[in-house]
A and B are shown apart, each in its own frame.
Chain A
Amino acid sequence: GENVEQHPSTLSVQEGDSAVIKCTYSDSASNYFPWYKQELGKGPQLIIDIRSNVGEKKDQRIAVTLNKTAKHFSLHITETQPEDSAVYFCAAHWGGPGDSWGKLQFGAGTQVVVTP
């Protein structure tokens, strides 16, 4: 099955600096890689995703890069703000092309703390 490793487990940044979270996956058949943000007491919320036919995707201050050869993908948050403080999870679609797209293998999460 799929195995997703996420680093670092905690990340402290000053407001305005950039934050980078890295994930690796094991199953070369994985082709969908979403990132979720989870705030205290809430469920995970999708913030950005990338498909395997794309190397980079950007949405305002958030960007994701994917290297299929090396089987790793990264989340980049620029100009961090206190409201970016949360736990961030990477995930990879688990299973073959015919499998349920919502069958995701999650990383262990990164606690991001943005200090003013």
Chain B
Amino acid sequence: DSGVTQTPKHLITATGQRVTLRCSPRSGDLSVYWYQQSLDQGLQFLIHYYNGEERAKGNILERFSAQQFPDLHSELNLSSLELGDSALYFCASSVVDSSGANVLTFGAGSRLTVL
């Protein structure tokens, strides 16, 4: 168990629908990152939140949004779903190690299937 909790583990929905994925970071970690893993695009950085504030954006579609709450859990909202949004969505939290770099710890992921 990595300490990063993601729910739900699996989700099946239809095109056009909206879903919310939830992530609880490891205790004490202030940063939350969202990544998408698909067969054709691989692992892609979506967005980073630090202590409730957005810090960096990657290849995140406008139909997707995220937020981090005061208790540091984060939610990734995916709307107007398309078949191509089917993927594994990972959340990671981080701690700064002794050399000053953020070391990411990933959760087990949420598998989204859009039919």
Contacts and interface: CB of A to CB of B under 8 A. Distances in A.
A44 interface: yes
Contact of A43 (B31, B48, B90): B90
A6 B108 CA distance: 23
Contacts of A89: 43
Interface string B97-113: 00101111111110000
B106 A44 contact: yes
Interface residues of A, number: 26
Interface string B39-66: 0001111001010000110100000000
Interface in B2-19: 2, 4
A102 B33 contact: yes
A44 B88 CA distance: 12
Contacts of A100: 31, 33, 48, 50, 55-56, 102
B105 A46 contact: yes
A108 B38 CA distance: 10
B92 interface: yes
Given A43-B107, A43-B108, A45-B106, A109 B42 contact: yes
Interface in A67-116: 89, 91, 94-95, 99-109
A95 B58 CA distance: 10
Given A104-B45, A106-B42, A44 B90 contact: yes
Contacts of B2: 43, 45
Nearest to B50: A100
Give the 10 A-B CB pairs with smallest separation, nearest first.
A43-B106, A101-B102, A100-B56, A106-B43, A100-B48, A102-B33, A102-B102, A44-B106, A103-B56, A100-B55
8 contacts: A32-B101, A43-B107, A44-B90, A49-B101, A100-B55, A101-B94, A103-B33, A103-B48
